[in-house]
Amino acid sequence: MVWKQMLRWAGPASVVVWLVALAVFGARLPFYDQMRHPVSLLGATGVPGAGMFNAMGFVLPGVLAALAALGLVLRMPATASRPLRVAGQMLLLAGLAFAAMGAFPLDVDDIGNRASQAHASVWLLWLVAFCAGAVMLRVGAARDAAWRPVATLAVACAVWMLCSAFVFGSVMPVAMAQRLAFLGWALWLALLARRAPR
């Protein structure tokens, strides 16, 4: 069906939208340095074009990622194990959490206020939901060989994202470590259509 094919390519579309938004909005700000400043700064309160970046850089890619996860869920057989079904739900939640980063923008004037805490919370929810989904996908794939390629990809990306979030930041700028975490997720979305069972 046409709509299933559209869901199948929602993942790569999410990556393209995110990369274009990051490049375009980053280039519009003379002070913004992709190597030193976090992605969230582009959507922070008071930054020119923040609202549009939040829509194009977080909300739209997150919704597309959630649709990609939905497409994965719809490809699961009626006899799919509980771990596989839970994995689909967690991956869907990760997409929605990514979108929520745009709904709860960072406040650079007060990193400790509720708005900034909400942004940090949904960022953590995104990371935890994806990693939990990857683990459950691998558990479920143990009984279904067709799901092993996509499960292996998910686990590899989850490990990379965890290292980027909690390890790489000690040897490189935090902004770069954050980008590496985002790129791990982008790799998952870009390859999902090819690795998932048809």
pLDDT at 174: 84
Q: What is the 3-state secondary structure (H, E, C) of the chain?
A: CHHHHHHHCHHHHHHHHHHHHHHHHHHHCCCCCCCCCCHHHHHCCCCCCHHHHHHHHHHHHHHHHHHHHHHHHHCCCCCCCHHHHHHHHHHHHHHHHHHHHHHCCCCCCCCCCHHHHHHHHHHHHHHHHHHHHHHHHHHHHCCCHHHHHHHHHHHHHHHHHHHHHHCHHHCCCHHHHHHHHHHHHHHHHHHHHHHCCC
Give the pLDDT score at 3.
57
- pLDDT tens for 131-151 read 999 999 999 988 888 889 999
Note the pTM of the prediction, 2 decimals: 0.92
Contact 43, 54 (CB under 8 A): yes
Tens-place pLDDT, residues 99-115? 999 999 988 776 667 87
pLDDT at residue 5, rounded to an integer:
64
Average pLDDT over residues 187-198: 86
pLDDT at residue 2 above 80? no
